[in-house]
A and B are shown apart, each in its own frame.
Chain A
Amino acid sequence: MSTATRSLPRTIGAHAILLTYTAIALFPVILVVMNSFKSRAGIFGAPLTPPTTKTFDLIGYTTVFGQGDFFHYFQNSLVVTVASLFFVLLFGAMAAFALSEYRFRGNTLMGLYLALGIMIPIRLGTVAILQLMVASGLVNTLTALILVYTAQGLPLAIFILSEFMRQVSSDLKNAGRIDGLSEYTIFFRLVLPLVRPAMATVAVFTMIPIWNDLWFPLILAPSEETKTVTLGAQLFLGQFVTNWNAILAALSLAILPVLILYVIFSRQLIRGITSGAVK
């Protein structure tokens, strides 16, 4: 079926490339999920085959739910991720609005300063952050993690959002001002709905590193009370013996919440990525 803009060989070629890439990208995930349903012997005997009736085993999941308080770890991870996400989006959008909307001395400088955070990894400051948390008595609290992740996510959020907010019609904001809306109402009611796709993009980019992070939970909040899922999974990782069933099961479970959040944002996300291209 050849048309003016499409030819069969090219369509096949494009799909072949995309399908190959999809297979490569999904392979590790599928491997993890597949093996999480197998017995220890099954995992080591034939790691690349799907579970058969012989190798099918839920031992990993029973270990995970039996040992350690995994439900609690999940809850910690969710609280940290959602709270950080909320603050990143709120403060990021507010800062982006200020940078794009108001003329003030040092506006450009402030923008550059905030963009600097994208280039310098926050982990370089780990020692100082730890000292800070110790001094303020926040070690082994979820608050410590939320604060760090908020700081980590803000630079990119501000960078992306301020670019989008510049595109929001200034006439619209001015119309709001003439109608007597406060700057906060203009921000929340007029501007935010219009940059929703960009917010979703930022949300996904912010959420995934936070959920997956092992570094800061390990350093700032390793107590049983505040363990996150990624840290909890380390429980099964020993120096000499590793409980692969449990690890794979824990990892499979850890994919789920991000997957759900991703599905929620994805419709918006696609619009966000393409929104600059068309129009």
Chain B
Amino acid sequence: MGSLKIENVKKAFGPVEVLKGIDLEVTDGEFVVFVGPSGCGKSTLLRVIAGLEDSTSGRVLIDGADVSVTPPAKRGIAMVFQTYALYPHLTVKNNMALGLKQAGTPAAEIERRIKIASAMLSLEPYLERRPAELSGGQRQRVAIGRAVVREPKLFLFDEPLSNLDAALRVNTRLEIAQLHRRLKATMIYVTHDQVEAMTLADKIVVLNAGRIEQIGSPMELYNAPANEFVAGFIGSPKMNFIDGARLGETAKTIGVRPEHLTVDTKSGAWKGTVVHAEHLGADTNLYLDCETAGLITVRIFGVYNAEPGSTLYATPDAAKTYRFGADGKVLK
């Protein structure tokens, strides 16, 4: 009941091309996350799917039907915005009901759906309040509730957690994950936060400069990035990129994730000086300035004591290093 197909969608604002030909297929019930740096076109793509922006060329199909010229309200979608975008003059209940009233849904049915949604999101105590009387987390739950009551074919989330503080973000993330499991609905989620992408997605679409860099499950992207951009974008701290020539390799660039490096005080592949150590409790991030490899990050699980200025040897896990060609693509 909720598949999406995008065929060669392009979008230009005047001379600026924001989307340079996007092809994508989303099957029913999938949780797809668009991720990318700011300005990569992910929000624009979501707006094109929603119908808030017209694509310059290309087609958008929802459930096989071309909706390229269908207004947003008739596309069978619901959207959750970063700034919540609740109607300030309406109560929580009416905020949820408005879309259904506009669509001519019978009052009893509206009542029933609001009851289910507010129970799901524990919003019952707030139904008669106005948005101004709610906290940020509650407001975002109302916004999600407003999407749920529409029973859409597609849920669209536009950076819904960006305005929440860190603790609330984790909670709400969990709620969205549970919501997806319960509703089994197709969801498309835009974020610039790769942690959100990794934890929520069935399928991640990495976008950069208006193009899709790679599509895959979180672990596919982590274990087998197609190119340097995806390798650098997925994973935190970021993958180390070392100039191949400095290591005497044929590849243009060698990539190794901080967690795939081990350190030793006596011997190892790369000798370096500790520049800075970040102690996070569960793990320790070391910044090493290596003679051959340059500045690299090493992530060590657990506590590791290293004084800045001391000498350490880092050794990459050979099975988990990546080799990139001059075009940035992974060399097999």
A residues whose Cβ falls under 8 Å from a Cβ of B = 103, 169, 171-172, 174-181, 189-190, 193-194
Q: Provided the pairs A193-B88, A193-B89, A194-B88 are in contact, do residues A179 and B102 lie with their beta carbons within 8 angstroms?
A: yes
A178→B82 contact, CB < 8 A = no
List CB contacts (< 8 Å) of B72-128 with chain A: 72-74, 77-79, 81-89, 98-99, 102-103
A residues in contact with B198, CB < 8 Å: none
Who on chain A is nearest to B96 by CB?
A: A179
Q: A172-B85, A175-B85, A178-B77 are in contact. List 8 more A-B contacts (CB 8 A).
A: A174-B47, A174-B50, A174-B79, A177-B72, A178-B99, A179-B98, A179-B99, A181-B73
Q: Which of B73, B78, B86, B103 contacts A177 (CB 8 A)?
A: B73
Q: Does B52 contact A (CB under 8 A)?
A: yes
**Proximity bits, B290-318, A CB within 8 Å = 1, else 0:** 00000000000000000000000000000
Q: How far is the CA of A177 from the CA of B85 in the complex (A)?
A: 12
B99→A189 contact, CB < 8 A = no
Does more than half of chain A's interface fall in helix, strand or loop, or is it mixed? helix
A residues in contact with B86, CB < 8 Å: 172, 175
B residues in contact with A193, CB < 8 Å: 88-89
A residues in contact with B77, CB < 8 Å: 178
Q: How far is the CA of A29 from the CA of B134 in the complex (A)?
A: 48
A180→B52 contact, CB < 8 A = no
A180→B103 contact, CB < 8 A = yes
CB distance from A26 to the nearest CB of B (A): 38
B87→A190 contact, CB < 8 A = yes
B102→A181 contact, CB < 8 A = yes
A172→B52 contact, CB < 8 A = no
CB distance from B149 to the nearest CB of A (A): 11
A residues in contact with B85, CB < 8 Å: 169, 171-172, 174-175
List CB contacts (< 8 Å) of B141-175 with chain A: 146, 158
Who on chain A is nearest to B83 by CB?
A: A171
CB distance from A134 to the nearest CB of B (A): 46
List CB contacts (< 8 Å) of B48-84 with chain A: 50-52, 71-74, 77-79, 81-84
Who on chain A is nearest to B71 by CB?
A: A177
Who on chain A is nearest to B75 by CB?
A: A178
Q: How far is the CA of A174 from the CA of B99 in the complex (A)?
A: 12
Who on chain A is nearest to B79 by CB?
A: A178
A residues in contact with B158, CB < 8 Å: 171
A residues in contact with B72, CB < 8 Å: 174, 177-178, 180
Q: How far is the CA of A177 from the CA of B53 in the complex (A)?
A: 11
Q: How far is the CA of A175 from the CA of B90 in the complex (A)?
A: 13
Q: How far is the CA of A189 from the CA of B79 in the complex (A)?
A: 20
A residues in contact with B82, CB < 8 Å: 171
A residues in contact with B99, CB < 8 Å: 178-180
A179→B73 contact, CB < 8 A = yes
B residues in contact with A178, CB < 8 Å: 50, 52, 72-73, 77-79, 99
B residues in contact with A176, CB < 8 Å: 87
B residues in contact with A179, CB < 8 Å: 73, 98-99, 102, 146
B residues in contact with A171, CB < 8 Å: 81-85, 158
Who on chain B is nearest to A179 by CB?
A: B99
Q: Which of A103, A175, A180, A189 contacts B81 (CB 8 A)?
A: A175
Give 6 nearest A-B pairs by CB, closest first: A180-B73, A179-B99, A180-B102, A171-B85, A171-B81, A175-B85
Q: How far is the CA of A149 from the CA of B98 in the complex (A)?
A: 39
Q: Which of B13, B52, B71, B89 contacts A189 (CB 8 A)?
A: B89
B residues in contact with A181, CB < 8 Å: 73, 98, 102
B residues in contact with A190, CB < 8 Å: 87
Who on chain A is nearest to B80 by CB?
A: A175
Who on chain B is nearest to A173 by CB?
A: B85
Q: How far is the CA of A169 from the CA of B85 in the complex (A)?
A: 8
B residues in contact with A175, CB < 8 Å: 79, 81, 85-87, 146
